[in-house]
Amino acid sequence: MFHRGAILILAGVLLAAGASAQSTAGFAAISGVVRDATGATVPAARITVSNESKGITRNLTATDAGLFVVPNLPPGPGYRVTVAAQGFSNFEASNLELAVGQNVDIAVALAVETATTRVEVIATAPLVEDTKTDVSQVVTTQQIQDLPINGRRVDSFVLLTPGVSNDGYFGNLTFRGMPGNASFLIDGVDNTEQFFGENGGRTRAPSGISQDAVQEFQVVSSNFSPEFGRTSAGVVNTVTRSGTNDLHGTAYWFFRNRTLDARDRYAAVNPPEVRHQTGGTLGGPIKKDKLFFLLNSEIQRRNFPIIGSLSRPTVVNNSGQSFINCPSSVTTNGVTETPTAAQCAAINTLLPRFFGLIPRRNDQETAFGKLDYHPGERNAFSASFNFVHFVAPNGIQSGVAINTGSQITSNGDDSVRVRNGRWSWIALPRNNLVNEFRFGWFTDRQADDFDPGVQTAGLGYLQLSVGGQNLGAGASYLPRVNPREQRFQFADGLSWTVGRHSFKFGVDIASTEDYVYSISNAFGSYSYGSAAAFALDFSGNPTGAKHWQSYSQTFGNPVVDFTIHDNAFYVQDQYRPWAKLTINYGLRYEYAVLPQPKIVNPDYPQTGRIPTGTRNLEPRIGIAYSLDDKTVIRVGYGIYHQRYTGVLVSGLFTNNAVYQKSLNLTSSQYSLGPGFPNVLASADQARAGTTVEFAAPDLRTPYTEQGTLAVERQLGKSFGLTVSYLWNRGVQGFGVRDLNIGSLGPPVTYQIADPNGNIVGSYSTPTYRAANKVDPRYSRILQVENGVNSYYNALVVQARRRFAAGFQANLSWTWSHEIDYKQGSYQDNQSFGTINSFANTFNGDYKFDKGSGLLDQRHRLTISFIESPTFVHRNGAFYKYAVNNWELSGIVTLAAGRPTVAGITVSDSTPFAGAAFTSTLNGYGGNNRPPFWPYAAIYTPAAYRADLRLSKKLPLTERYLVYLNFEAFNVTNSQYDTSQQFTAYVERGGVLTYQPSFGQGSATAGFPDGTNARRAQVSARFVF
């Protein structure tokens, strides 16, 4: 294969080079080549890099080729570079501001020394980065503080980056069409919750770190260096604030209520909401130039009840007070029955509690502390600790209005507890050697439970679905601790500058323990195809007759405790063969030591082994060529492996029909199942309904291949433009095959009818029959394997205006197309291994479902701006407090919709006699989409929104400032549907009847408010 050849070639080059390059994880760098007026290199020039406010001084000597590299510099303003060489005038670049992950390359041209020594001064860093080869964007301190932000969750600004978009509407991210799986770093230390592959604290907690503790962050969406890994998506590289030689502090308060909030279009009323966020920061010197501190603390108190309502109901009436189509006839295994009016009235008593106002809160406390110590020029130490505590009664569901009853059935009490810390040591044993050691500690505890205030008498914790309407007691996975995660990380990187090379090699070892207490569906779940079928079982049923469509329940041990050991080694080099060419190349190798199940199903020994991929070599190369001092061409390619998530390992431990037994019964197995509302005491009563899951013996680590071609051009003094082509190929993604379903049987033909019942066509499908099962002792035997591929192509345009004359702006437009083999979204992948999330239309036929994926978004345009005009150049209190010192900032987003996959609801207890499973037309029980339609049937509407902030600065004195702010999110209240009615057909009696409600909007979700309706807040900030 092509990538194996690339690995061998690049490995050979690296072995010949034999070392490594500068750090970017949480730091910045300054580099350059010293030349004389003729362009010849000047060897052994003396370089000094200093930052007075941070107490930093670095002295070094340029190489024989005139190259100098100063890595591991804390990002921030105030850097000065001086260059001196015998026989030449001194050179100085001052007031340089370094961004995280940035290598500021300075073109040093020394003039011949004359009687009067002349100093060349550069006041700003170059706009075009001539050594950069990745696709990235830095969100600066000014943007973090001045742009509008909803909920003070700082990683929301990641969406300003090209190639990045929302993955669903719960705050998750997709990079280049890949579901989740990004890498989140804080000061170079891994802050990713490995169990689900999200940022620490996930998206249920309002934030994983206070906005005021963050200085800036870099988002790398493609072609990052070998130093970064454990992701096939992208990297979010966050840098926290540090104390300086000056004492600085802030105090702030944000307030919101519903006064200026708009009503969500699917909510009957605009519910009350009150939110307070307040906190403060203090930083400064403990010992000037040596020891610095920074402290931050913040709290949130939010009261926001949840509304239950209905949007175009199909099973109950519009008020949610009674079922429809009851009484009506029900055919079960060839027998037709009709419930009485009394039986229909009895089930209506369950409904009122699902459609009303339910109390809900969202409270959080965060704290952050940091120490930086510079004992001398050759050593620097840093330590930090972050604390997050979050509780939310009835807060699992975050939507303002839930129109399916799931404000109870999918809800519960939520809590999150995050603790993380780091310690780092930067040492300079020689002028051209820099070593950085990092230790990281990370914990994240996610726990949920039933809320006792919303239980229904007679049902307890039972799960119930009637014609697709959920009527259970709470989320089926409650109670749970999922997970309690703890990681210890050790990383070391050595940078070495010699000749025209800047090498770096490093090692990164992490040990992550996940403790899980969870047994989903422990209390049993009934599913009925219609209200009439449910009514027959609910009351007036002295014989215990059964009319359910399916019954499921899980038994066994809820506790799983395991550890994953992730090991990584890398080597990289930045090579400058001549002035206009930079080559960044390297190799990374990752190896995960996965835990092995100790409890094995003797029927299937495969349940005792989880294979570990060992071919995880990752060659990467990027080339930057400067046509002139204002134009750079970049090209890059690399391989990036996915991190093994804990949810995958946990599923392979528990789903072996011994550790936990998952029982799934259909209407053909009534003799094995209970009668409503009873549950089974153990799975031993019905072994034929249990499911086994294990990994394929040749399971490999999924990876992506990424390619980039870009041109960057400086237009004018402060304006830059970049045009890029991004290519991404997802390879050997995880899929699921049922080894027990057997071969396809005789076809069944369905009639297709319009909404009026007129037959307009037919569809025939081969079928899966219960009689063809390979092992009748089990319901399903699921094999996790590599079968899913994806493809992403994008054209990206970035325009940026550096802050000048009181104005700055950034524009990012992405045109893209994502195609996959039913890859799914992040929500699908976090419930890995379940047949409904991963199964295709036909067993193991991944290509049959090839099409535009759920993460396909053709267009995305974001514009951010900050304008601080000076209206009148006059002094005086009136001009200071009334006329000047205003600021307007905003973020404008124009985004295309996402695909909706159509579905077919099977109303009969079984679609045809002898079906293996009853929820799909072909009896497979996997993807229930219309097989005669494309995978992506329709798209949700486009989203158009503008978030604005108006700020007024009140300078009390030169040192003490007060800022008053007003922010509005989706200021024009341009609400957009984020989900649609997906049921295209209802099957009854062999006829597929088209549903006219298909494609109609059903929710206007948004993060973090649970709606995209307009929201507004006010705030005050005191700064000194």
The β-bridge relationship of strands 274-287 and 291-303 is: antiparallel
Judge if the upstream peptide bond of residue 483 is cis by omega within 30 degrees of 0: yes
Q: Among residues 320, 80, 297, 78, which one has the least CA distance to residue 209?
A: 297
Q: What angle do CA 568, 219, 581 make, to 5 degrees?
A: 80
807 CB contacts (<8 Å, ≥6 apart)?
A: 801, 865, 866, 867, 868, 869
**Does residue 6 belong to any structural domain of this protein?**
no
Confirm if 943 and 894 have CB atoms less than 8 A apart: yes
In a domain, residue 378? The reply is yes
Listed residue (405, 388, 503, 450) closest to 153, CA to CA: 388
Cα end-to-end span (Å), the chain: 60
Q: Flag whether 551 is in a domain.
A: yes
Position of tokens 């985004």? 895
Retrieve residue 685's tokens.
């009563």
CB 266 within 8 A of CB 311: yes
| Tokens coding 921 | 């037309």
| pLDDT for position 24 | 62
pLDDT at 826 (0 to 100): 72
Quote the pTM value. Answer: 0.89
Bridge partners of 636, per DSSP, are 622, 708
Which sign, positive or negative, has the C-alpha torsion 322, 328, 332, 335? positive
Give 559's strand partners: 517
SS (H, E, C) 310-359: CCCCCCECCCCCCECCCCCCEEECCEEECCCHHHHHHHHCCCHHHCCEEC
Q: What is the pLDDT of residue 824?
A: 82
Whether the Cβ atoms of residue 574 and residue 502 lie closer than 8 Å to each other: yes
CB 952 within 8 A of CB 1019: no
Task: Look up residue 693 and give its two tokens.
Answer: 């899951």
Helices (H), 354-457: 406-409
Eight-state DSSP code of residue 3: H
**Coil, strand or helix at 443:** strand
Residue ranges in the chain whose pLDDT is less than 70: 1-24, 115-125, 309-313, 318-320, 352-355, 403-407, 455-458, 685-688, 828-838
Q: Is the peptide bond before 869 cis (omega within 30 degrees of 0)?
A: no
Q: d(Cα 795, Cα 815) in Å, to the nearest integer?
A: 5
The residue whose two tokens read 């175009």 is 312
Pairing outcome for strands 401-402 and 306-308: parallel
How crowded is residue 754: how many other Cβ atoms within 10 Å of its Cβ? 12
Q: What is the 3-state secondary structure (H, E, C) of 176-238?
A: CCEECCCEEEECCEECEECCCCEECCCCCCCCCCCHHHEEEEEEEEECCCCCCCCCCCCEEEE
Total domains present in the chain: 1
- Whether 88 maps to a domain, the answer reads no
**Residue closest to 816 by CA, chosen among 782, 864, 853:** 853
- Does a structural domain hold residue 190? no
DSSP designation for 880: I
What pLDDT shows up at residue 405?
Answer: 62
CA distances from 278 to 39, 646, 1021 (A): 56, 35, 10
The answer for 883, left when phi > 0, alpha when psi is -120 to 50, beta otherwise, is alpha
pLDDT of residue 6: 40
What would the two tokens of residue 333 be? 């295994």
Place of tokens 């600066």: 140
Distance from C-alpha of 137 to C-alpha of 864, rounded to nearest angstrom: 13
Rounded to 5 degrees, φ, ψ at 144 are -60, -40
CA distance 854 to 720: 33
In a domain, 247, yes or no: no
**DSSP assignment of 685-733, as one string?**
GGGGGEEEEEE-TT----EEEEEEEEEEEE-SSSEEEEEEEEEEEEEEE
- 738, with CB counted inside 10 A (0-12, 13-18, 19+), is buried
- Phi-psi category of residue 929: left, alpha or beta, with phi > 0 → left and psi -120 to 50 → alpha: beta
The enclosing H or E element of 665 equals strand 660-666
CATH number of the domain that residue 472 is part of:
2.40.170.20
Cβ atoms within 10 Å, residue 630: 16
- Flag whether 764 is in a domain: yes
Query: Which residues does residue 303 pair with via DSSP β-bridges, in sequence order?
Result: 274, 361
Whose CA is closest to 726, among 220, 235, 8?
220
The number of beta carbons lying within 10 Å of the beta carbon of residue 458 is 10
Strands (E), 754-858: 759-768, 780-804, 807-821, 850-852
Mapping DSSP onto H, E and C, the string for 807-832 reads EEEEEEEEEEEEEEECCCCHHHHHCC
397: its two tokens: 């569901």
> 479 with 449: CB under 8 angstroms?
yes
Quick count: other Cβ atoms within 10 Å of Cβ 897? Answer: 19
Q: Which among 906, 902, 903 has a CA at the least distance from the CA of 921? A: 906
pLDDT the model gives residue 318: 66
Measure the CA–CA gap between 993 and 905, rounded to whole angstroms: 10
- The Cα 386–Cα 152 span in angstroms is 16
Angle between helices 341-348 and 531-538 (to 10 degrees): 90
Q: Which domain holds residue 627?
A: 286-1023
**Letter for the amino acid at 804?**
A
Smallest Cα–Cα separation from 439: which of 458, 418, 424, 454? 424
Tell me if 290 sits within 8 A of 1001, measured CB to CB. Answer: no
pLDDT per residue as tens digits for the range 314-352: 777 766 678 888 999 888 877 889 999 999 999 888 876
Residue 153 is assigned to a structural domain of this protein: no
Encoded tokens for 235: 């990297």
